[in-house]
Amino acid sequence: MSKKLIIGMFGFGVVGQGLYDIIKTKNLNLEIKKFVIKNANKQRSLPADLFTTDAEVILNDPEINTVVELIDDADAAFQITKRALESGKNVVSANKKMIATHLEELADIQQNHGTSLLYEGAVCGSIPIIRNLEEYYDNELLHSVSGIFNGSSNYILSKVFNENQNYDEALKKAQELGFAETDPTLDVGGYDPKYKLAIVASHAYGIYVNPDSILNLGIDKLGVQDIRFAREKDFKIKLIPLAKEIENNRVVLYVLPKFITKDNILSNVENENNGVLVKAAFADEQFFYGKGAGGHPTGSAVLSDITALRYDYRYEYKKHLNAGQVQYTTDYELKVYLRYADEALLDQISFNSISERFYGEDFKYVIGHIKLQEIIDKRNIIHQDGNFLAEIL
């Protein structure tokens, strides 16, 4: 017999509304008692007495046993989540930045207070990758987890390569459709997939990595020359995060644009869809595909977590129990394409080797092998206007 959940929800935006739309079609053993929102004057589709701007109404209500956190502010989300867990309330969150930044502390709070924090909706929309890493792959040796974790940047790249739109046109369309924000840096700069990658790595390898230490370069410097290069070589460009175990129990993590061949399974993930590719020692290669953006896809993942709480489900963080020897590293060599504007740039960057140089009328590039740490150290000069770096797979 499942227990009844009395829910207090923070936020009633795209995901919150999408979640409510799904809940009202189901006969579930739960009740949403109160919503906390920022703007009390905004027109709502539900009765006004369900809404408040006072967080304490939910946090201090002993009848509310479940908090659903769906706000954008990562710092405020952390304070809400921490207080709720410490007061004995379970929490479901979709805030990837908050979770990635504070995951170790939040895991300890759950352990100390016997509460549960679930966050499937924070990673790849409707794709149940966290639950699969926790349950299906709990005793598996994972070689790598990679994929397309950000629907906004993938939508833009799809329009560029499939419909010959330029980057600015595709970005504007993504903003009009609500896939990208007015300030799209979080998506096109690779920050959003970086936060998701940190969460995935925790469940895949049992490590806590501060997302600030993970390299992320996005597609915001993508130029017509890079698109032309990709087409000439029969490549597509995708923004791909990677978690990969290498020799000596070390794990490498980074987010980079990548030139991939058209027979790569990720090349067929288009528009706002996401795809997660898991390579394992025993299960071999498996692929998860689904909607990565939108209120209903993310709302469905949030609802899955909510309903799991009716049966007292918790992440067990099993990989962390045996992860004493696993270490995060940036000592890893990549093959990259670097389009650059200033010839002096190459004097400031240490390539291990360069296999190709090109000097054209409108652009220059090199292809070579370079250490991940070197890219991190020289990130600011590499990512200046006129430059674009991508890995070649």
pLDDT tens readout for residues 308-324: 999 999 999 988 876 56
> Looking at this protein, which amino acid is placed at residue 278?
V
Eight-state DSSP code of residue 265? G
Q: Using one digit for the tens of pLDDT, what is the confidence trace for 124-143?
A: 988 999 999 999 998 888 99
**Does the active-site annotation cover 196?**
yes
Mean pLDDT over residues 363-390, rounded? 96
Q: What pLDDT shows up at residue 277?
A: 98
Stretch(es) of the chain classified as CATH 3.30.360.10: 131-291+325-392
In whole angstroms, give the CA distance from residue 292 to residue 126. Answer: 6
**55 burial type by CB count under 10 A (0-12 exposed, 13-18 middle, 19+ buried):** middle
H helix intervals, the chain: 14-23, 56-59, 74-86, 96-113, 129-135, 151-163, 167-176, 185-188, 191-205, 224-232, 295-309, 318-321, 345-348, 372-377, 379-382
Q: What pLDDT shows up at residue 323?
A: 59
Stretch(es) of the chain classified as CATH 3.40.50.720: 5-127+296-321
Q: What pLDDT shows up at residue 362?
A: 83
Q: Interior CA angle at 198 toward 314 and 379, to 5°?
A: 170
Cβ neighbours for 230, distance < 8 A, ≥ 6 positions apart: 161, 236, 237, 259
Eight-state DSSP code of residue 338? E
Q: Is the pLDDT of residue 161 over 90?
A: yes
Q: What pLDDT shows up at residue 178?
A: 76
Mean pLDDT over residues 363-385, rounded? 96
In whole angstroms, give the CA distance from residue 265 to residue 288. Answer: 11
Q: What pLDDT shows up at residue 298?
A: 84
Looking at domain 5-127+296-321, which CATH architecture does it have?
3-Layer(aba) Sandwich (3.40)
* Band of residue 103 on the pLDDT scale cut at 50, 70, 90: very high
pTM: 0.95
> Looking at this protein, which amino acid is placed at residue 354?
I
Q: Which residues pair with 364 in a beta bridge?
A: 340, 359
Q: Is the pLDDT of residue 1 over 60?
A: no
C-alpha closest to that of 17 among 243, 294, 255, 281? 294
* Band of residue 183 on the pLDDT scale cut at 50, 70, 90: confident
Q: What pLDDT shows up at residue 322?
A: 66
- Extract the tokens encoding 201: 């790595």
Q: Is the pLDDT of residue 76 over 70?
A: yes
Q: Is the pLDDT of residue 307 over 80?
A: yes
DSSP 83-147: HHHHTT-EEEE--HHHHHHHHHHHHHHHHHHT--EE-GGGSSTT--HHHHHHHTTTT--EEEEEE
Q: Is the pLDDT of residue 219 over 80?
A: yes
Q: What pLDDT shows up at residue 16?
A: 87
**In the chain, % of residues over pLDDT 90:** 79
* Band of residue 224 on the pLDDT scale cut at 50, 70, 90: very high
Cβ neighbours for 298, distance < 8 A, ≥ 6 positions apart: 15, 18, 94, 121, 125, 126
Q: What pLDDT shows up at residue 375?
A: 98
* Band of residue 215 on the pLDDT scale cut at 50, 70, 90: very high
Topology of the domain comprising 131-291+325-392: Dihydrodipicolinate Reductase; domain 2 (3.30.360)
Q: What pLDDT shows up at residue 296?
A: 80
Task: Tell me what the pLDDT averaged over the chain comes to.
Answer: 93
Which of 97, 159, 196, 236 is labelled catalytic? 196
C-alpha closest to that of 222 among 278, 153, 269, 279? 153
Strands 90-93 and 364-371: unpaired
**In the chain, % of residues over pLDDT 70:** 99
Mean pLDDT over residues 92-99, rounded? 96
Cβ neighbours for 278, distance < 8 A, ≥ 6 positions apart: 132, 137, 142, 144, 145, 285, 286, 287, 288
Q: Using one digit for the tens of pLDDT, what is the confidence trace for 2-27?
A: 789 999 999 998 888 888 888 887 78
Q: Is the pLDDT of residue 351 over 70?
A: yes
Q: What pLDDT shows up at residue 266?
A: 97
In whole angstroms, give the CA distance from residue 362 to residue 44. Answer: 53
How far apart, in Å, are the Cα atoms of 48 and each of 6, 21, 56, 253?
A: 19, 17, 18, 46
